Amino acid sequence: MYLWMDSLVYFSSWMLQFIIIALALFIILRIAVPKRKNRWTHLSLLIWKKHEAPKKLLKLLRISRDQQSFSERELLLKGCGFSADAAWYFVGKRIAVIMAALTIAVMLVMLKLHIAMPASMPPSIILAMAAAALLFLMFDQSWLRSIRKVRTLQITKEIYIVSNQLLYLSDSQLHIHAKLTRTVPFTKMIRADLEQMLADWYHHPRLALQRLKERLGTDEGMSFIETIDALRQHESSHYYELLKQRISDYKDKLELAKESKKESTSYLLFVLAGIPILYTFQVFIYPWVREGQKLFMTLQ
């Protein structure tokens, strides 16, 4: 009688897990793994077109672009390197939330009616997994900020290296495009975006820089692109002094992030150091304390 319900819940739970794992893998690969070099990057805009989410789909899922939460998530997603329409993220999130909520409701009903599920996991385990997934999706702003923070730090490191290379080539008679080309081997995360910009340079340099600024999506990236644009228009020592000042700012931010990381690591090590102490108390000291309490109770 409940075979169809069992199959539906089983399928929904696995689909929910697949969506969450796929999203996590996409974020990890987007941050950690550099993109493969594309020989035809100047034609990429003709091949890969950015499509916006259909208005009917957004209306069906009750997603509005005018909401403040949409604008906040859009900025966070840009900082995380999500270059597509932010509405697609909201569509995927809303579908996953609906699936998780339905799974929780069905599991609660099955637990209340004591319905067994022989073909899949116990309802209690599926309920816990669905609840964890729902909390993960509802509080996405916190982990998106964490991802943006990590990505911003990595981008700042590479911009710092590229800026130093440009400062090293300041006395050269090469064009700024050639200088930037020589800095590509020193990059990893921003290599694909930098190659895209260099490929689009001769079509429209200002537009290519603007697109790179949008793809980076960080304050440090914006200041770096503004400096490059100034060097493009006026190849003078004054703007290399500005670049030197930017390098100093990047270095200060990296040092501050390093100190913050050391402080967080020290707190974590302090917490971890307490685990052996608690274990020692539980194994060796606590039995003697219990025996002492029993002896004291017998003396009374």
First to last CA, the chain: 63
**Apex 38 CA angle, 33 and 41, nearest 5:** 120
Tens digits of pLDDT across the chain (300 residues): 445 555 555 566 566 666 666 666 665 555 545 455 444 444 444 443 467 888 888 888 888 888 888 888 888 888 787 777 888 888 888 888 888 888 888 878 777 776 665 545 667 777 778 888 888 888 888 888 888 888 888 888 989 999 888 888 888 888 888 888 998 888 888 888 888 899 888 888 889 888 888 888 888 888 888 888 888 887 677 778 888 888 888 888 888 877 766 656 665 565 566 666 655 655 566 566 667 767 767 766
Residue 95 CA, chain-centre distance (Å), reads 20
CB distance 92 to 23 below 8 Å: yes
| pLDDT of 37 | 47
Pairwise CA distance, residues 129 & 146, whole Å? 23
CB distance 34 to 192 below 8 Å: yes
Residue with tokens 């194994």: 283
CB distance 130 to 104 below 8 Å: yes
| pLDDT of 54 | 84
CB distance 62 to 95 below 8 Å: no
| pLDDT of 6 | 56
CB neighbours of residue 144 within 10 Å: 20
| pLDDT of 149 | 85
| pLDDT of 1 | 45
How would DSSP label each residue in the chain?
A: --HHHHHHHHHHHHHHHHHHHHHHHHHHHHHHSPPPP-TTGGGHHHHS--PPPPHHHHHHTT--TTSHHHHHHHHHHHHTT--S-HHHHHHHHHHHHHHHHHHHHHHHHHHHTT---TTSS-HHHHHHHHHHHHHHHHTHHHHHHHHHHHHHHHHHHHHHHHHHHHHHTTTS-S-HHHHHHHHGGG-SSSHHHHHHHHHHTTT-HHHHHHHHHHHH-SHHHHHHHHHHHHHHH--SHHHHHHHHHHHHHHHHHHHHHHHHHHHHHHHHHHHHHHHHHHHHIIIIIHHHHHHHHHHHHHH-
Pairwise CA distance, residues 223 & 136, whole Å? 33
**Apex 41 CA angle, 40 and 42, nearest 5:** 90
Contacts of 235 (CB under 8 A, 6+ apart): 176
